[in-house]
A and B are shown apart, each in its own frame.
Chain A
Amino acid sequence: MSQILRFNYKAFCVLLLGLVFSTSAMAGSDAKKEGFDPAVPAFHHIADANVFSIGPIQIPLPYILYVPGEGWHTGMSSAFGITMPHGDGLKAIDRFVLHGGRIKRIQDPNFPMGEVTLGADHDALHKLWHGEQSLSLNDKTYNLAYDNSSTADGGVFGGGITSYYDFSITKNVMSMFLVCGFLFFLFRGIAKKYATREGKAPIGAQGFIEPIFVFIQDEVAIPFLGKDWERFLPFLMTLFFFILGLNLFGQIPFLGNANVTGNLAVTMVLAIITFIVTTINGNKHYWEHTLWMPGVPSLLKILILTPVEVMGLFIKPLTLMLRLFANITAGHMVMVIFVGLIFLFGQNVTLPTLATAIPSMLLTMFMMAIELLVAFIQAFVFTILTASYLGAATEEAHH
Chain B
Amino acid sequence: MLLAITGSFVVIGMGLAVIGAGIGIGNVGAKAMEAIARQPEAVGDIRANMILVAALIEGAALIAIVLSFLVA
Out of B52, B63, B70, which one reaches A323, CB within 8 Å? B63
Contact flags (1/0) for B29-72 with A, using CB distance below 8 Å? 00000000000000000001001100110111011011100100
A330 to chain B, nearest CB (A): 5
B55 touches A330 (CB 8 A): no
B64 to chain A, nearest CB (A): 9
A380 at the B interface (CB under 8 A): yes
A380 touches B70 (CB 8 A): no
Out of B55, B60, B66, B70, which one reaches A381, CB within 8 Å? B55
A319 at the B interface (CB under 8 A): yes
Q: Contacts A156-B70, A157-B70 given: A384-B52 contact, CB under 8 Å? A: yes
Alpha-carbon distance between A329 and B69 when the two chains are bound, in angstroms: 12
Q: Contacts A156-B70, A381-B55 given: A330-B62 contact, CB under 8 Å? A: yes
Number of interface residues of A (CB under 8 A): 17
Which residue from chain A places its CB closest to the CB of B59 in the assembled complex?
A: A323
Chain B neighbourhood of A323, CB < 8 A: 55-56, 59-60, 62-63
Out of A327, A329, A384, which one reaches B59, CB within 8 Å? A327
Alpha-carbon distance between A88 and B62 when the two chains are bound, in angstroms: 32
Most interface-central of B48, B55, B65 (chain A CB within 10 A): B55
Which residue from chain A places its CB closest to the CB of B48 in the assembled complex?
A: A219
Which residue from chain B places its CB closest to the CB of A329 in the assembled complex?
A: B66
A323 to chain B, nearest CB (A): 3
A325 touches B66 (CB 8 A): yes
A308 at the B interface (CB under 8 A): no
Chain B neighbourhood of A378, CB < 8 A: 55
A322 at the B interface (CB under 8 A): yes
A152 at the B interface (CB under 8 A): no
Contact flags (1/0) for B1-40 with A, using CB distance below 8 Å? 0000000000000000000000000000000000000000
A330 touches B65 (CB 8 A): yes
Alpha-carbon distance between A381 and B67 when the two chains are bound, in angstroms: 21
A381 touches B52 (CB 8 A): yes
A330 touches B59 (CB 8 A): no
B66 touches A330 (CB 8 A): yes
Alpha-carbon distance between A25 and B62 when the two chains are bound, in angstroms: 27
Which residue from chain A places its CB closest to the CB of B55 in the assembled complex?
A: A381
B66 touches A319 (CB 8 A): no
Contact flags (1/0) for A303-336 with B, using CB distance below 8 Å? 0000000000000000100110111011000000
A212 at the B interface (CB under 8 A): no
A374 to chain B, nearest CB (A): 8
B51 touches A377 (CB 8 A): yes
Please give the residue numbers on chain A whose beta carbons come within 8 Å of chain B beta carbons, in ascending order: 156-158, 219, 319, 322-323, 325-327, 329-330, 377-378, 380-381, 384
Please give the residue numbers on chain B whose beta carbons come within 8 Å of chain A beta carbons, in ascending order: 48, 51-52, 55-56, 58-60, 62-63, 65-67, 70
8 contacting pairs across A/B (C-beta < 8 A): A158-B70, A322-B59, A326-B62, A326-B66, A329-B66, A380-B52, A381-B55, A381-B59
